[in-house]
Amino acid sequence: MFARLTNYLSSIHIIQSMTILGDMGEKQAILKLMETFDPDGQMLIGDDCAMVDLGKEYLLATTDMINQRTHIPEGTRGWLIGWYVTAINLSDIASMGGFPLGMLFALGLPSDMDIDFLDDISKGIDDCCKAHGARVLGGDTKENDTISITGTALGLVGKNDIMKRSGAKPGDIVFLTGELGSQLGWYKTKAELDIESLLRVQPRVREGQMLAQSGAVTSCIDLSDGLSTSVHHLKRSGKIGFELDMESIPFIGGLSDEDRQKCLHLGGEFELLFTADPNKLGSIPSTGLAGTKVTPIGRVVDDNIVHISSGSQHITLEDKGYEHFRGR
């Protein structure tokens, strides 16, 4: 009896002390995985893409997953699903200045899916690949209760051109491509939701290549998890700080002050946030890159804090971007 009671109390203690992913959040879970896979920091893990040394070039490899519960609003057409899962993977290749080679896809699909819907997904994948100079290399299909698709993108970049999260120096200028605000639709009701604008994202592949070849960029990342999270990634990688100017950040038109504050933390924008050497800015066209405007929004400092100013206000910008497992 005493032994059974001891075992019972011990099991309660284990349950109470157990840490779940919802407590940790995605960022801490990733750090935990890196402790296992790359304890010495020698495998070049931690950027938007993994890098494989090929001599004069790096092979870039990245993977990203979408699923019906967290990424696909009800009523989304198949073509848009295919385009989206392709674009978000190519965005990682873009952030490191790479030229896409091709993509693989693993599709988990319900057995009752209409074959025409699968055909639409495949057309969206193919169209996005072709638009950015990639090709579909293959993949896998499995039965699943809901739609779940994983894309894997491969690319090439010269060693002298590669853009990483680390490398920014105090005095560098902070830039952003495009505008923020395209993902505000997630805050609207289902009736108001513009699925097309939310999921037909445009990875900045050509823009990334132009930035990489400019020789001016010192660090770069895409905004898949939001501006605040992305700038904190650069801060940690470079062991530096940032001073951003709220009035300089480009937003889509017609936003309230409240909406602009939300946009600082919205994931899914897939613009490029980068830093550049102030002595080499002449190699970055002031008119934009491949038709995409580029805006200076701040500078790099050495105090290891992210500040953002608006008028006379000067506050700390906290890392509040979207985080899986916590649902925010």
Edge-first strand listing for the sheet containing 136-143 = 50-53, 57-67, 148-158, 99-109, 136-143
CA distance 77 to 324: 24
Tell me, yes or no, whether 238 and 150 share the same domain. no
Look at residues 99, 129, 158 and tell me which one is the last residue of a structural domain. 158
pLDDT over 70 at 125, yes or no: yes
pLDDT at residue 19 tops 60? yes
CATH of the domain at 300: 3.90.650.10
Query: Does 239 reside within a domain?
Result: yes
What residues are paired with 57 via a beta bridge? 158
- Residue 146 falls within a domain, yes or no? yes
**Is 224 exposed, middle or buried, given 0-12, 13-18 or 19+ CB atoms closer than 10 A?**
buried
The whole-chain average pLDDT of the chain stands at 89
Q: Which of 64-78, 259-273, 312-326 bottoms out in mean pLDDT, i.e. has the lowest? A: 312-326
Tokens of 134: 């990639």
**Mean per-residue pLDDT, 167-173:** 98
Q: Which segment of 39-48, 147-156, 212-221 scores lowest on mean pLDDT? A: 39-48
Taking 80 as the threshold, does the pLDDT of residue 6 lie above it? no
In this structure, are 54 and 141 located in the same domain? Answer: yes
Residues 215 and 245 in one domain: yes
The pLDDT value recorded for residue 1 is 53
Pick from 36-40, 46-50, 98-102, 154-158: least confident: 36-40
Can you list the pairs that 49-56 forms with residues at least 24 positions away whose Cβ atoms lie under 8 Å? 49/92, 49/93, 49/95, 49/96, 49/98, 49/155, 51/96, 51/162, 54/156, 56/158, 56/159
Give the least confident one: 20-24, 231-235, 252-256.
20-24
Same domain, 129 and 225: no
What global pTM score does this model have? 0.87
Domain boundary among 97, 131, 158: 158
What pLDDT does residue 31 have? 59
- Is the pLDDT score of 3 beyond 60? no
**CATH number for position 118:** 3.30.1330.10
Looking at the domain assignment, is residue 128 inside a domain?
yes
Q: Which residue has the higher pLDDT, 268 or 209?
A: 209
- 66 and 141 share a domain? yes
- For residues 305 and 189, membership in a common domain is answered with yes
Task: List, for residues 220-238, the tens digit of each pLDDT value.
Answer: 999 999 999 999 999 999 9
Mean pLDDT throughout 296-301?
A: 98
User: What is the reported pLDDT for 186?
Assistant: 76
pLDDT, mean of residues 198-222: 97
- 148 and 214 share a domain? no
State yes or no: pLDDT of 4 exceeds 70.
Answer: no
Residue pair 52/58 in contact (Cβ under 8 Å)? The answer is yes
The mean per-residue pLDDT over the stretch 261-276 comes to 94
Residue 109's SS3 state is: strand
Tokens of 166: 């680390």
Closest CA to 174 of 296, 289, 291, 87: 296
d(CA 133, CA 129): 6
Q: Count Cα atoms within 13 angstroms, Cβ side, for 65.
A: 11
- The two tokens of residue 104 are 């693989």
Q: Which residues pair with 66 in a beta bridge?
A: 149
pLDDT cut 70: percent of the chain above it: 83
Please check whether residue 36 lies inside any domain of the structure: no
Parent domain of 268 = 173-316
The answer as to whether 321 is a domain residue is no
Say if 31 falls within a structural domain.
Answer: no
Q: Are residues 183 and 147 in the same domain?
A: no
Asked if residue 304 belongs to a domain, the reply is yes
43 belongs to a structural domain: no
pLDDT value, residue 14:
47
**Number of structural domains found in the chain:** 2
Each residue of 84-95: pLDDT tens digit?
999 999 999 999
Domain co-membership, 154 together with 188: no
Say if residue 79 is in the same domain as residue 135.
yes
pLDDT tens per residue, range 108-118: 999 999 999 99
What is the DSSP code string of 113-152?
--HHHHHHHHHHHHHHHHHTT--EEEEEEEE-SS-EEEEE
From 158, 184, 204, give the residue that closes a domain.
Answer: 158
Write down the pLDDT at residue 2.
46
Q: How is residue 226 written in tokens?
A: 């939001």
Residues 107 and 146 in one domain: yes
Counting Cβ atoms within 10 Å, is residue 229 exposed (0-12), middle (13-18) or buried (19+)?
buried
Q: pLDDT by residue (tens digit) across 36-85?
A: 666 666 555 669 999 999 999 999 999 999 999 889 999 999 999 999 99
User: What's the whole-number mean pLDDT along residues 193-218?
Assistant: 95
| Alpha carbon distance 244, 260 (integer Å) | 14
Instruction: Using a pLDDT cut of 90, give the percent of the chain over it.
Output: 73
213/139 same-domain check: no
Average pLDDT of span 259-283: 95
How many residues comprise the chain?
328
Report the DSSP beta bridge partners of residue 140: 106
